[in-house]
A and B are shown apart, each in its own frame.
Chain A
Amino acid sequence: GQQVMQIPQYQHVQEGEDFTTYCNSSTTLSNIQWYKQRPGGHPVFLIQLVKSGEVKKQKRLTFQFGEAKKNSSLHITATQTTDVGTYFCAGPESGGYQKVTFGTGTKLQVIP
């Protein structure tokens, strides 16, 4: 079945440093969604990318969807303590919109 891996699994950064997490799917995705889960909380939707090569920005966050629609990345510029949490990518296989597979997640710790 479809597998979605994220690297790194954990990342510690000093406040103000940049952070990037990478998402790789074993199959082509219809779209890619990104979620953030704060410690003790539930996943919250951040953004969805649909087109091959698409890039979207939300303030300090930049999201990219690969040309082959099998990988994606989330980059945070100048991290803040409010960025702490686990970031997940997720997406359905191309042609099928029913089963949404989540990535393994990247846990971000920001040291003040």
Chain B
Amino acid sequence: NAGVTQTPKFQVLKTGQSMTLQCAQDMNHEYMSWYRQDPGMGLRLIHYSVGAGITDQGEVPNGYNVSRSTTEDFPLRLLSAAPSQTSVYFCASSYSTGNTEAFFGQGTRLTVV
């Protein structure tokens, strides 16, 4: 049972480039979310999804897009990378909404130069 899988683990982008962070879970969880982690600021919610075809914005959605075409996958797209998006990104899933235990992926460390 792989749990939540994120790829890549590390990425360096140039300002203005676009890329997609992949997230997949094999636990048949309905709820998935993306967080970014910056020093001293905890984990901030970027986007979340309560099921296939349904997404919504979190606390810091600007500069990011998401889609949820299947239950398993929840990719995060950076449209035009900026140095302010340098961070560690975590994908998480839980059985249903925020009322239950969240399982996190290993994280993606992104540097934008």
Chain A residue nearest in CB terms to B58: A99
Does A77 interact with chain B (Cβ within 8 Å)? no
Q: Among the listed B41, B56, B102, which residue makes an inter-chain contact with A98, where contact means beta carbons less than 8 Å apart?
A: B56
Interface size for A (C-beta < 8 A) is: 27
Residues of chain B with a CB closer than 8 A to A85's CB: none
Residues of chain B with a CB closer than 8 A to A90's CB: 43, 102
Chain B residue nearest in CB terms to A86: B42
Decide if B101 touches A9 in the complex (CB within 8 Å): no
Does B103 interact with chain A (Cβ within 8 Å)? yes
Task: Find the residue from B42, B97, B99, B106 having the highest chain A CB count within 10 A.
Answer: B42
Cβ < 8 Å to B, chain A residues 69-105:
88, 90-92, 97-105
Does B29 interact with chain A (Cβ within 8 Å)? no
Binding site for B on A (CB under 8 A): 1, 4, 6, 9, 30-31, 33, 35, 41-45, 48, 88, 90-92, 97-105
16 more A-B residue pairs beyond the given contacts A42-B106, A105-B42, with a C-beta to C-beta distance below 8 A: A33-B102, A35-B102, A43-B90, A43-B102, A43-B104, A45-B102, A88-B42, A97-B98, A97-B99, A98-B97, A98-B98, A99-B48, A99-B58, A100-B33, A100-B98, A102-B35
Residues of chain B with a CB closer than 8 A to A30's CB: 98-99
Interface size for B (C-beta < 8 A) is: 27
A53 to chain B, nearest CB (A): 19
Does B50 interact with chain A (Cβ within 8 Å)? yes
Decide if B45 touches A99 in the complex (CB within 8 Å): yes
Residues of chain B with a CB closer than 8 A to A44's CB: 104
Chain A residue nearest in CB terms to B57: A99
Residues of chain B with a CB closer than 8 A to A98's CB: 31, 48, 50, 56, 97-98
